[in-house]
Every structure is written in structure tokens, then in C-alpha cells.
Amino acid sequence: MRALVTGADGFLGANLCKALLAAGHEVTGAALSRKGHTALDALGVDVRLEYGDVLDAAYLRRLVNAYEPQWVFHLAAVSIVRIAQADPRRAIETNVMGTLNLLDACRCGNVEAVIVASSDKAYGDYQGAPYEEAWPLKPTGAYELSKALEDTLARGWAHFATTRICVTRCANLYGPGDVNWSRMVPNSCRRIAKGESPEVHPAAWQYQREWLHVEDAARAYLLLAEQGATGEAYNVGSGHVATAGQVARMLARLGGVQAPVESPWQGIVEIPSQRVCWARLASLGWTPQWELHLGLAETLAWYRRYQGGAA
């Protein structure tokens, strides 16, 4: 199949490109601009890249017309909570209008399936109860609002589109290839590779998350491109729930370093507890392959190799 991945140079995007190529698909990536060192570089994924802004509708139409993708994976977004919090207009414009432009471009092409990346954060705060897809979205911040709007737009668009469209709501991702050092797992792994303790934001010690290995997420995307029902949302989780503090302590033990320390406070308040019910995805035959402790060990080993090569 011919696949187009927007946000291809990001953490999930690069891992998805890697999985698509490994499965024998032809892949075109789209990215905002040429950057110094991306997740594609870190993973050693060689994919054709086209640069442009998803807010440029003509650019997206050109991509779809030129490469005639059968599958489109829309991951391009303002995806960092603190950036969305600092500039809500940018987050909403990019995540909502960018998605609208992409869906409209696909309407004019011969696209079979579009998978739009929403987020479990779109649900809002349900006090730790496992999110179910039928629950109302109750966003609690700028990032959450932008993803809830994007999510609703994609599912609504599916009702009158000939293209099959579905939405993913992934749990908290970790794994190889994340070079965004503001995130706890990659930053902690980088620190451990230098013999230092992991870092946790002061308010995040007790934040409870469901931890999903990025390779499991990529497999879910490929399955949904083949079998996802149009207009539906699919939670993607692992069943492995832990606080940020617990994960940091696991990494410290795996790395043989001192206990985690507090990182500088960034003034970000997030949903205290999040987990998902992924029975709908399981009904398609999907199951996660990575157990948390083994996934963290593999992730730390990857960062040690990566840091050694970068040194």
C-alpha cells in the first residue's frame, strides 16, 4: 500500500514509518520543516519527506494528488502540553484546521483510510476510571481542548465522506526514538546514560498513566488502516498503569543509578489519573506485546546505544 504520514519526523510518526516500511509499504512522510536531528534520524529511518504546514490546504492537496496514498496517518499536531498551554490559538488552529485541511485533501483523492491521532487526554478528568470510547469528551486545558475538537471533527467528517476515517486515543507513549528531552522517559534515559539520576517534575510524581510502548501503538495504527470502522474512535492501551515516580524509580533501578530527583518546575498542571479501556481494539485481534518493565529495559538500552553513538 502507499501510505502518507503527517508528522513523520516526530516520535510516533517515525516509529510508524519504520513499521510501515518493515511491512513492505511505500511511505511518504510530511513534516513542518527541516530540523537538526529528528526521531527519523535517531531511528535511522530513511523515508521520502515533503516539507510544509498543514495549515496550507494547497500543500496537502498537492501531497495527496502527487503521491496518491491509499492510507493516510495524520499525526501532525501541536503535541506538547506546555506549548499548547502557552499558545492556545496555535494549538487549536494547527490541530483543528490542519485536520480539516487534511480531510478535505483526502476527499479529493483516492484515499481508502485516514487514521487521525487524537489523545486519551481529550476525555478529561474521570477520576481514574478507565476511559471508554462512548464517554463524552470533557477537555480540561488548551491541549486537551484542541485534541477533543480534532477528534470530534474527524468522526463527524466520516459521516459524509467516502473515505473510511477513524480516530486513535493512545495512552502515554514511551520507547525508542523520542528525542524530545522535555519528556520524562527520554530525558531520564539520557541522564542515566551519563550516570545521573532520572528527573521527575515536582507535580508529576503521583500522576498516574497507562504506559504504551510506541511499537505497540504503531501496530495498532496499521491494524486500524486495514480494519478500523469509519466514524469510530479506538483507545490504544497496555493495561500497565504506574505513576511517573514509579516509572522513574524503575528506570533508576534498571540503570543502576541513584533514586530520581525533582526537575525544575514548569508550572504545568495535568490530569491526575488516566487509563483506557481498549476492548474495542482488542475485538479486532489486537493485543499489546510489551510488558512495562521489559519495555523500559529495552528503551533504556536503546538510549544508551544512541547516546554512545552520539558522543
- 135 with 222, same domain: the answer is yes
Q: Are residues 69 and 157 in the same domain?
A: yes
Based on the structure, what is the number of domains in the chain? 2
Residue 284 located in a structural domain: no
Domain co-membership, 136 together with 250: no
Query: Is 269 found in the same domain as 221?
Result: no
pLDDT at 109: 83
Q: Kindly state whether residue 226 falls inside one of the protein's structural domains.
A: yes
Burial of residue 32 (number of CB atoms within 10 Å: 0-12, 13-18, 19+):
middle
Q: What pLDDT score was predicted for residue 129?
A: 98
Residues with a catalytic annotation lie at 143
Does residue 29 contact residue 15 with C-beta atoms inside 8 Å?
no
Domain of 263, CATH number, reads 3.90.25.10
Give bridge partners of residue 74 from the DSSP assignment: 6, 116
Cross-strand bridge partners of residue 170: 236
Give domain status of residue 123, yes or no. yes
Q: Is residue 294 part of a domain?
A: yes
How would you classify the pairing of strands 199-200 and 48-51? unpaired
39 & 180 share domain: no
Domain harbouring 227, CATH code: 3.40.50.720
Q: Are residues 162 and 190 in the same domain?
A: no
Phi-psi region of 124 (alpha: psi -120 to 50; beta: other; left: phi over 0): left
Residue 11 lies in a domain: yes
**Are 110 and 158 within one domain?**
yes
Per-residue pLDDT tens listing for the chain (311 residues): 999 999 999 999 999 999 999 999 999 999 999 888 999 999 999 999 999 999 999 999 999 999 999 999 999 999 988 899 999 999 999 999 999 999 999 998 889 999 999 999 999 999 999 999 999 999 999 999 999 999 999 999 999 999 999 999 999 999 999 999 989 999 999 999 999 999 998 888 999 999 999 999 999 999 999 999 999 999 999 999 999 999 999 999 999 999 999 987 666 678 999 999 999 999 999 999 999 999 999 999 999 999 886 53
Do 230 and 94 share a domain, yes or no? Answer: yes
Confidence at residue 311, expressed as pLDDT on a 0 to 100 scale: 37
Q: How far apart are CA 211 and CA 249, in angstroms?
A: 15
Please tell me the total number of residues recorded for the chain in this structure.
311
Are 114 and 251 members of one domain?
A: no
Shared-domain flag, residues 41 and 70 = yes
Residue 99: domain span: 2-172+211-236
Check whether residue 119 and residue 264 sit in a common domain.
no
Closest-CA residue to 39 (of 186, 237, 223, 220): 186
- What predicted TM-score, i.e. pTM, was given to this entire model? 0.96
In a domain, 282, yes or no: no
SS3 (DSSP) at 35: coil
Residue 229 makes CB contacts below 8 A (sequence gap 6+) with: 164, 166
CA 132, 133, 135, 139 torsion: positive or negative? positive
Query: Is residue 266, in this structure, part of any structural domain at all?
Result: yes
Query: Given this model, what pLDDT does residue 310 score?
Result: 52
Q: What is the per-residue pLDDT for 108?
A: 84
Instruction: Give, as one character, the DSSP assignment of residue 122.
Output: G
Is residue 283 in a domain? Answer: no
The answer on 119 and 248 residing in a single domain is: no
Per the structure block, which three cell numbers stand in for 275?
487509563
User: Helices 57-67 and 98-107 meet at what angle, rounded to 10?
Assistant: 40
